[in-house]
Structure 1
Amino acid sequence: MHRESGTTTRTTPPHPTSDVLVVGAGPTGLLLAGDLAEAGLDVTLLERRAPGISNLTRSLVVHARTLEQFDARGLAEDVIATGHPVTSLQLFGDVRMDPTGLPTRYPYVLVTPQFEVERVLAERARKAGVTFAYGNEVTGIRQDADSVTATVRTTDGATGEYRAAYLAGTDGVHSGVRRALGLPFPGKAVIRSVVLADVRLTEAPTEPLVAKADGDAFALVAGFGDGWYRVIAWHRRRQADDTAPVDLAEVRELTRLAHGTDYGMREARWMSRFHSDERQVPEYRVGRAFLAGDAAHVHSPAGGQGMNTGLQDAANLSWKLIAALRGRATDELLDTYHAERHPVGRTVLRSSGALIRFALLQTRAQRVAGALVGQVVKHVPPLTRRAIAQVSGIGIAYRRGRGDHPLTGRRAPDIRLADGSRLYEALRGNRFVLITPAYETPELGGRDTTRLAHGTWRGDRRTALLVRPDGYIAWATDTMDRAARADALAAALLHWTGPAEQEPAAAASARR
């Protein structure tokens, strides 16, 4: 093994053990591994590729809710610096998403290539101490009561094993972890022979991100803000295998057919062809193994929700694994990962599928009907706001239990706290944040997992909130009965953060 930028890079596996194995060094795996390592856990990140980040990536937008998750990790400004904020995103026809009214610090869509997001997340993971094990492809998984073991094949054909308390498969649409777990991936191909290219243009489009369809052709053109543009193009009657070569002439023609111009397209730094599926695994958890990102769900690129949904998966799972490994959580908390994220993945699959179907309506009658629906969405503000909230992630909430406060499961906005700081600053370090009115200072029982902050929910001086590390509200109360309020808070803290002054539980059984 050797040291590289503060990170141990293994090319052959000496049967090492870790707290968590993360399989797949895309954005989802990098965020998850970084979260776990920053919490002091021993994390090994297995990646079948050789070292280095590939720029052959499809994702090009980061939405507001993902930027909030980056903010809670002190990464938002680094990611924003890589891209180009835009304030209008065309969904289909002349229906646009205007995120400027979203209740967030980030009321825009950030256009940036996926490899830039990976670069920021990889730097953070290295600094946190994640062990990167490149050239290792998972071929099998076995589990017992205390650990999970991954069998791997290296690039030189050798085999070996890695062992940990838990494993997360974030290894993409062709996930080896999913196959090793024997899980199906039901669904179908939505659109075939999609052409992607990063090109230079002689004439800049009138908008930084514009999508158009004309007859059988569709093309989206988005500027990265540095002179390069991403083109995603497709033609209904020109279907080719994913392995068929792409040349600049084809990209020019498809763009010209859809937009009426190719914008003087010239140099290309890369080109590719792919097909888009709609698929979702039925279970996100199998014992000590979890699936996240494209390993768990894939859908059409419409709305740019793919990478963002995977990153939200990671944000949901990381704090729960940390709590489990520190002995602060029951197995039921780990079950909530599937319970919360599977419905979100299904919703994104349906909404992105609806968007692509609107864009690709075939007959004149279908296009007329689609235009009418588009006008309804465009001119009925509640529908427009709901669509924007859904695509941006700001409107996503988790189901609350019977009898829970109406705020439970909802995203917490970036509340301005009484000391002048912000909620998402207080969340940094994988902490819960208890927000109470200034007159109330409850005892936290020595819990170093929870920070007490004074603030108000939209000016309401009665509401107290317990915010989870992923920025969702775990518990809330409005009662003014002091005894009932204290009892409810004590029960919430016990349920979510464990007993006061709980000794950390090491994953010793997985290391024996």
Structure 2
Amino acid sequence: MRHTDVLVVGGGPTGMTVAGDLARAGRSVTVLERRPGINPSSRAFATMARTLELLDSRELAEGLLADANRAQEVSLFGGARLDLRHLRSRYRYAMITPQTTVDTALGGYAKTQGADIRRGIEVVGVCHDEDGVIVTAQPKNEPGQRTTWHASYLVAADGAHSTVRRLLAIGFPGRTVLSSVVLADVKLRNGPGGGLTLGSTAGEFGFLAPYGRHETDGSWHRAMVWDRGHQVSDRAPVGDSEVADVLRRAMGTDFGVLEIGSLSRFHCDERQVERYRHGRVFLAGDAAHVHSPMGGQGMNTGIQDAANLAWKLAAVLGGAPDCVLDTYHDERHPIGRRVLRQSGLMARGITLSPRIARGARDLVAPWLFRLPAVRDAVAGSFAGTGLRYPRRSGHHRLAGTRGTEIPLTAQRLTVVQRTPGFVLVRERGADRPDEPRLLHAERADRGPAVLVRPDGYLAWAGSSVDGTWRDALREWTGG
């Protein structure tokens, strides 16, 4: 039997973020991924601002942005536009690049930090009790070479069709919301421009995201198309003409499809597990929640699940109270539910069929999205920068909010957090407390001192002089 602190099942962006963060914190972690390599049919293409902040704290953002496109707005129905240029973030745009690129970067991060990554291995058995988790795995399609693993904790990050979830008989309630959606890489003679572009009629929709791949005779885009009148099985083949025809009708113009690369047909569900924690087993990413692809939330939500969970596992392995792990569900389940709701609303809005309803939508939406309060709330929700976690009783009103935009006298917070741990940001001009277990920084403005968790959210705010930050630190670390 082999032993590890944490076993991660699934080597996508969620699993690799968990693995890299745990290894960076000094914990032993093993990743079991059934595919021999990175999944070439990954659907995500938009990395939002909050995820870019997390990638920056792992020294990955700049490298990814170097070869990516940046979309500052999203065109919607009726001429409405979702403007990302007012986000309270260093990244006032969505990074447009294939998920495989992000997968590669996070896989490299996990490996560099010391995670043990084993590909071509599938899980065939899981059992857990108060003492740990035992997992039986084997090389894919080779049932005679089974290996048993023992871990203190198991993270199921193995996707919408999670093997771990099935083996433990964990329900995944929900329903299908769209079927026969086609995803394709298309080379266009005359692309629509630099932003994310949506077109829809009563019978179809098309969506285009520009990649950074430009050639002399055109530019490459990730395209998503749907035709109400052509609802077929996911297994039905997709022809080049289907993509070009639906795209032309949905957009109301012909961008000139020169070439089509990868093609896939899929359906999308709205589903979420009732609990993200099952004893010593945790579900994250698509294993915990799936939803409409509208808004580009899937990969982003999974990476943020991982960033929330990994430091808590590391803390409990280091002596923090077990109840810290319960906060993973408490904080992330409501976020997952919100993502399902907002992505679903967008999907239903795009696919409206009745003429009166579409007319009302196209009349109201452009006006609504021009209101700064609405614009900023919706953009912040989709980008992840406007989300917060519940504030614990008796804590400062800032507790649970994101600390990334606090101005510091030296490096920005995401650079400080490239070393794992809690960060005590003291008031401007205040003396540095004697606490070697913490990372330290100083505010450049007149705000209060804050204690920043490893995932970038505030655990405490107040006066650094009274020492109450030590109580908050003890709540989370037990030390």
| TM-score range normalised by the length of the shorter chain | over 0.9
Q: Secondary structure at the match of 1:137?
A: strand
Query: Which structure 1 residue ranges, 5 or more long, are not aligned?
Result: 1-14, 500-512
Change (3 A) 1:318 1:61: same
Q: Distance in 1 between matches of 2:462 and 2:362?
A: 45
Aligned to 2:475: 495
AA paired with 2:323?
E
Aligned to 2:128: 143
Q: Distance in 2 between matches of 1:169 and 1:336?
A: 17
Aligned match of 1:333 in 296, 304, 324?
A: 324
| Identity level (%) | 45
Question: Is residue 2:69 matched to residue 1:84?
Answer: yes
Tell me if structure 2 keeps the 8 A contact 1:82–1:116: no
Matches within 5 A, 1:2-401: 15-50=1-36, 52-155=37-140, 156-158=142-144, 159-227=146-214, 228-327=220-319, 329-401=320-392
Q: Distance in 2 between matches of 1:395 and 1:446?
A: 32
Q: Deviations over 1:214-263 (max 9, x none)?
A: 23010011110213211100011110100000111110111011113342
CA displacement at 1:91 relative to structure 2 = 4.0
Change (3 A) 1:92 1:296: farther
What TM-score, normalized to structure 1? 0.89
Change (3 A) 1:371 1:263: closer
Tell me if structure 1 keeps the 8 A contact 2:76–2:197: no
CA RMSD of aligned residues (A): 1.6
AA paired with 1:182?
A
Tell me if structure 2 keeps the 8 A contact 1:103–1:413: no
AA paired with 1:425?
V
CA displacement at 1:442 relative to structure 2 = 5.0
Q: Distance in 1 between matches of 2:364 and 2:314?
A: 45
Q: Distance in 1 between matches of 2:190 and 2:366?
A: 30
Q: Deviations over 1:50-70 (max 9, x none)?
A: 1x2232111010000000001
Q: Distance in 1 between matches of 2:342 and 2:105?
A: 29
Q: Distance in 1 between matches of 2:33 and 2:104?
A: 15
Q: Distance in 1 between matches of 2:163 and 2:17?
A: 20
AA paired with 1:201?
L
Aligned to 2:442: 454
What TM-score, normalized to structure 2? 0.95
Aligned to 1:507: none
Q: Deviations over 1:410-453 (max 9, x none)?
A: 011333322x2111111112221111124433534432xx1121
AA paired with 1:257?
R
Aligned match of 1:407 in 382, 398, 417?
A: 398
Q: Distance in 2 between matches of 1:444 and 1:365?
A: 66
Q: Distance in 2 between matches of 1:413 and 1:129?
A: 27
Question: Is residue 2:410 matched to residue 1:424?
Answer: no
Tell me if structure 1 keeps the 8 A contact 2:316–2:477: no
Aligned to 1:11: none
Q: Distance in 2 between matches of 1:495 and 1:434?
A: 15
Q: Deviations over 1:329-354 (max 9, x none)?
A: 11110000000000000000000100
Q: Secondary structure at the match of 1:101?
A: coil
CA displacement at 1:389 relative to structure 2 = 0.4
Q: Deviations over 1:38-84 (max 9, x none)?
A: 2222111001111x223211101000000000111111112212311
Aligned to 1:502: none
AA paired with 1:390?
S
Tell me if structure 2 keeps the 8 A contact 1:46–1:136: yes
CA displacement at 1:373 relative to structure 2 = 3.8
Q: Distance in 2 between matches of 1:207 and 1:72?
A: 27
Q: Secondary structure at the match of 2:451?
A: strand
AA paired with 2:425?
I
Q: Distance in 1 between matches of 2:412 and 2:13?
A: 26
Q: Secondary structure at the match of 2:259?
A: strand
CA displacement at 1:493 relative to structure 2 = 2.4
Q: Secondary structure at the match of 1:304?
A: coil
Tell me if structure 2 keeps the 8 A contact 1:297–1:345: yes
Q: Distance in 2 between matches of 1:93 and 1:29?
A: 39
CA displacement at 1:403 relative to structure 2 = 2.1
AA paired with 1:389?
G
Q: Distance in 2 between matches of 1:46 and 1:31?
A: 14
Q: Secondary structure at the match of 1:116?
A: helix
Aligned to 1:506: none
CA displacement at 1:126 relative to structure 2 = 1.5
